[in-house]
Amino acid sequence: MGAAPLDVRASASVKAPLAAAGLARLATAVLRAEGVRRAAVSIALVGRRRIRCVNRIHRGRDRETDVLAFGLSGPGGFVAGDVYCCPEVAARQARRYGTTPQDELRRLVVHGVLHVLGYDHPGGEERVRSAMWRRQERYVARFGRLAR
């Protein structure tokens, strides 16, 4: 039996500045660039209450956040994961960082996919100097246009 392909699905339960299908294409491109051949990854665009609830349940932090990612590696290199992004928080951060809500949401999706793959970064200001952050920014620049 052949290997399962990359299965990346995205859905939105809230209004978002980019189409879910485009974000799935972006995530698929990142997985391919990382050499992943078999995966099942879901991307959920959710509201502030939902992401706060997921954050509280899974991380013990009762507050909103921008992105949450949960990943599992299986036999034979199979990757499974869920990425939750909050477009409302992304828009707020975009204003703070001087970027667009679209670019911030692209960045969060790539960030989440990298966490699903096991990448991590330090907290605070050190994160923007980390190897994961540099990798993330390369992928946003290279594949960001796939999400419109």
Tell me what pLDDT residue 1 has: 42
| pLDDT single digits (tens) 51-110 | 999 999 999 999 999 999 999 987 788 999 999 999 999 999 999 999 999 999 999 999
Residue 12: its H or E element: strand 6-12
Which residue would you say has higher pLDDT here, 137 or 148?
137
Region 5-18: mean pLDDT is: 97
Strand partners of residue 41: 8, 81
Choose among 17, 13, 23: nearest CA to 99.
17
Which CATH number describes the domain made up of 6-146? 3.40.390.30
| pLDDT single digits (tens) 23-41 | 999 999 999 999 999 999 9
Tell me what pLDDT residue 76 has: 80
Q: How buried is residue 45: exposed, middle or buried, by Cβ count under 10 Å (0-12/13-18/19+)?
A: buried
Instruction: Give CA–CA dist 89/52, Å, rounded.
Output: 11
Instruction: Say whether pLDDT at 3 is over 70.
Output: no
| pLDDT single digits (tens) 119-145 | 999 888 898 999 999 999 999 999 999
Spans of all domains in the chain: 6-146
Question: Could you tell me the CA-to-CA distances from 134 to 25, 61, 112, 137 in Å, in that order?
Answer: 21, 27, 14, 5
Give the orientation angle of helix 101-116 with respect to helix 20-33, to 10 degrees: 40
The pTM assigned to this predicted structure is 0.94
52 in Cβ contact with 61 (< 8 Å): no
